[in-house]
Amino acid sequence: MNLWHRPLTANELRQCLRIAFGCTLGFLLCKLFGWNYGVLYTVTPVLLLGMVPVMNGHAARQLMAAAVICGVEVGLLGGLFGGHPGLMIPIAFLLFLYRFAAMSRGSLFLFGANGVMSLSIMLHFASYPQTDLNDLIFNNLWASTLSVLIAYLMTALIPDVEERPKPAAPPKAPHRMRHEALLGASIATLSFMVFQIFDLRDSMSAQATTLLLLFPMHWNGALSYARKRAMGTLLGVTFGLLSQLVLYDWSGLLLLVAPMLWLGAMLFSHAHVKEASGSGVGFGALTTLGILFGQYLAPGNDLVFSALYRVSSILFAIVATLLACYLIHRLLNRFEATRFGY
């Protein structure tokens, strides 16, 4: 309980401000210039600034490499195998596998995490004939580029006051890394198949949840994060509903929407930095808020229905993903080469 009652340190307060202003700036630029896929411009800065406390060149290179490689892969796969789901599934598994292998090693976690999220969502939307594939790839690449620029700008304008200690990742045994990579790739591929089979094109938040649950890279971590993700989703949706009630018919006025988004991002980033656990309640609420504002809060859209749909779809996605994760975890642990424990 001391975690929640202690005051923020100077560095933590500045990280909260960087997340809130970065998220709001990405949202504003997207709306002002009329770019498609507003969720990319709102959520990607949150992912970057939330996972990387202080922006650096290594993080920027990982994010840009993930966006470029994902664009090339989706462009080739969409053009060559878009109408052949039987070929798409094993190829998607291999693409997920090397990304989760990069995440398991630690030093390329951001490259793998951003690549997994982008690849899954882009492959899903690229399968629909009405999707402009070039527009989708360009927006993903531009959103990543803009997020890097925003992160550097926020770091320059709101710098830390003291140097942060560099986290040291503990070494992992090869059989544990194989377990993590195979578990993540299997669940990500199953998620892709389910969303394709049931034509769930309007469940981006649920699709993202199935992947975010895998970020701890093991069963116990997924189980712990599932509870936090559910709580974060409820908090994000509640704030979104309150924002809709406050704004009512003025949800198209950026002058009023932007402060509401900044306030929500500031509140949830406060929880995120205090948790200091990577993906927790605060981070789940931040991503939910970014999806609601970036994709659904617009004139003529019913945010209330969207918010309630987000809750039900995410809770179902959590239960289904945990079940699949447990079964695959047990299966991999039967073999010494892919056992998780030491």
Which H, E and C letters describe 50-76, residue by residue? HHCCCCCHHHHHHHHHHHHHHHHHHHH
- Section 240-260 average pLDDT: 82
Cβ atoms of residues 271 and 265 within 8 Å? no
- Residue 82's pLDDT is what? 64
Terminal-residue alpha carbon distance, the chain:
32
Radius of gyration of the chain (CA): 19
271 contacts 219 by C-beta, under 8 angstroms: no
Q: Which tens digit of pLDDT belongs to each residue from 209-234?
A: 888 888 888 888 888 888 888 888 88
pLDDT tens sequence across 47-96: 899 988 889 999 999 999 999 999 999 988 876 776 677 788 899 999 99
Report whether pLDDT(313) > 90.
no
CB 232 within 8 A of CB 342: no
With 80 as the cut, is the pLDDT of residue 192 above it? yes
Cα–Cα distance, 287 to 295 (Å, whole number): 12
309 has pLDDT over 60: yes
CB 22 within 8 A of CB 150: yes
**What is the rounded distance in angstroms from the CA atom of residue 242 to the CA atom of residue 102?**
40
Higher pLDDT residue, 237 or 272?
272
Kindly state the average pLDDT of the residues 182-209. Answer: 84
State the pLDDT confidence band at 182, using cuts at 50, 70 and 90: very high
Predicted pLDDT at 1: 38
Least reliable range by pLDDT among 16-20, 242-246, 249-253: 249-253
